Amino acid sequence: MPSRPRVLLALAGATIAFLAAEPAHAAAGDLPLGVALPVWSALPFVGLILSIALLPLLAAGYWQRHYPKVAAAWTLALAGPFLAAYGRPALQALARTALADYLPFVLLLGSLYSIGGCILIRGTLRGSPPVNAMIMLVGTGLAAWIGTTGATVLLIRPLLRANRRRRYRAHTVVFFIFLVANIGGALTPLGDPPLFLGFLHGVPFFWTMRLLAETALTTACVLAAYLAVDAWHWRHEEASVREDPEGPREPVRIEGWHNLAFLAGVLAAVILSGTWNLGSVSILGVPRSVEGLVRDVVLVLMAVGSWLTTSQRLREQNDHAWEPIREVAILFAGIFVTLIPVLAMLSMGERGALGFITRGVRTPALFFWATGGLSSLLDNAPTYLTALSTALGLLHPGLPEREAILRLVAENPTYLKAIATGAVFMGANTYIGNAPNFLAKSIAESAGVEMPSFFGYVVRFALPFLVPVFALVTWVFFV
């Protein structure tokens, strides 16, 4: 094992001893978990994020072979001491995260990935700047209705095939992540998990259509930046790549089109799970809504039906492989678990050890950047709920949640717009800001594209291209 990975992994073991020293004063229930947790209980999460960021740079071969072990090490560094110090509340938090958060998350992601991999878009597409921009624009529009994951899986492979002869391709995948895997999901609750959670908590389904102006401005700016960057790279491609090839052209067509019905089944199940109320059941002490369980079963059935009715030949021609979704599932399992203390502390606002993060958030502009900044590193769905709770406590304290949300929509919609756009748009700032980001990266790498590292993505693309656009959005809409 290389020495640097050994040092980083040793931190996980050291954290176990460090956290285990915490007295079990919360186990007796005298303090809420989010108040009792110390600030350094976030160390396993920080360690996992640094591992994801650094190990592919410092020891790429080791990371590719052993990333499940690294994720498991940091997960155990949290779970073991967490259970020992806080007992039953910790066990309940772990069970709730596994059954109510992670399981629905990975089932939705897995079903969309599997079904999308059974739809093959054929045709002669040349990866010129206008063609690439058109694919991204179509994907941005689709993301609102079939989800950022569905749009990513459906269009990333045609985009890669269109650019297979090009030398410079990584920037195209990065801007695809910006637009299709994130920004396009802002217009409906189906688009991105944060908005779906808002819908479940009482935000009207069509309210998100009010984000059209913010989404249009952001999309136009990012797409214009992409066209400028890709035009520069296009001029430096080989002449044989830039020349329009002679010979017969294959018209664009869809194979495996029947899988669109399975995709529609997934979307219908998600929508109905937010409108039905069939009661709830307890699983291992975790309350789960019956409609949520029905949704999860339907997702599995749709994925299985798609797989059984699609030929293996089509999946092979689509370069369908399980490793990208396997990597996402493993790494996000660790992220979900190590996030537990972080979100618990944030949910307590100023009472929690991370209260300094939310203490100064009072205006729509600050909500936009605070929600977005946290969404860049944390999962943007629980971050959205945390920011929403903070806004409700600030503007409508003491009201029942659904009544407070309706008041927020009617009286202070700019705050909710800032939270929603911050969570969705700024999930594009890092690979881990939104699950489809990692999915697109993994699929591109499996196709031979050399993608930028974690820090390379942030420094070379997110900071120079996204941050100025978000500053403009702040000035136009939230100041």
Cα three-residue angle 469-450-468, rounded to 5 degrees: 10
pLDDT band for 18, please (50, 70, 90 cuts). Answer: very low
* pLDDT for 27 beyond 50: no
Query: Are 82 and 92 contacting, i.e. CB atoms less than 8 angstroms apart?
Result: no
d(CA 380, CA 186): 12
pLDDT band for 119, please (50, 70, 90 cuts). Answer: confident
DSSP 288: E
pLDDT of residue 284: 85
d(CA 92, CA 98): 10
pLDDT of residue 6: 55
The DSSP line for 400-415 is -HHHHHHHHHHH-HHH
CB atoms under 10 Å from CB of 209, counted, come to: 13
- Backbone φ/ψ region at 445: left (φ over 0), alpha (ψ -120 to 50), beta: alpha
CB atoms under 10 Å from CB of 2, counted, come to: 13
Place of tokens 């920004």: 183
Segment 102-120 mean pLDDT = 85
Segment 443-468 mean pLDDT = 93
Place of tokens 């009207």: 204
DSSP 476: I
Place of tokens 């790549």: 241
Segment 77-87 mean pLDDT = 90
* Percent of the chain predicted with pLDDT > 90: 38
pLDDT of residue 227: 96
- Which runs of consecutive H residues, i.e. helices, occur in 274-379? 290-308, 312-317, 323-347, 355-358, 364-377
Segment 102-113 mean pLDDT = 85
Query: Are 273 and 292 contacting, i.e. CB atoms less than 8 angstroms apart?
Result: yes
What's phi and psi for 279, nearest 5 deg? 90, -170
* pLDDT for 24 beyond 60: no
d(CA 183, CA 178): 6
Report the first-to-last Cα separation within the chain, whole angstroms. Answer: 52
- Of 275-289, 340-354, 370-384, the range with the lowest mean pLDDT is 340-354
d(CA 116, CA 149): 9
Distances (CA, A) of 306 to 111, 116, 270, 302, 324: 9, 9, 17, 6, 19
* Residue 206, burial from CB neighbour count under 10 angstroms (0-12, 13-18, 19+): exposed
pLDDT of residue 249: 66
Segment 64-78 mean pLDDT = 92
Query: Are 163 and 169 contacting, i.e. CB atoms less than 8 angstroms apart?
Result: yes
Specify the 3-state DSSP secondary structure of 286: strand
pLDDT of residue 344: 79
Query: Are 448 and 400 contacting, i.e. CB atoms less than 8 angstroms apart?
Result: no
d(CA 55, CA 61): 9
Distance of CA 284 to the CA centre of its chain: 27
pLDDT of residue 439: 85
Query: Which range in 344-358, 407-421, 439-453 is most confidently predicted, on average pLDDT?
Result: 407-421
pTM more than 0.85: no
**Domain boundaries defined on the chain:** 3-239+249-478
* pLDDT for 312 beyond 60: yes
Specify the 3-state DSSP secondary structure of 308: helix
Q: What is the tens place of the pLDDT at every residue in 272-306?
A: 887 788 888 999 888 888 988 999 999 999 999 99
Closest to 101 measured CA to CA, from 403, 361, 344: 344
Distances (CA, A) of 339 to 347, 378, 444: 12, 7, 27
Secondary element (H or E) of residue 445: helix 435-446
pLDDT of residue 424: 96
d(CA 434, CA 98): 18
Give the list of residues 6+ apart from residue 436 with CB closer than 8 angstroms, or none. 148, 149, 152, 177, 180, 181, 182
Give the list of residues 6+ apart from residue 446 with CB closer than 8 angstroms, or none. 319, 321, 323, 324
421-457 as b/e: b if 16+ CB within 10 A: bbbbbbbbbbbbbbbbbbbbbbbbbebebebbbbeeb
* Residue 398, burial from CB neighbour count under 10 angstroms (0-12, 13-18, 19+): exposed
Closest to 365 measured CA to CA, from 421, 316, 441, 302: 421
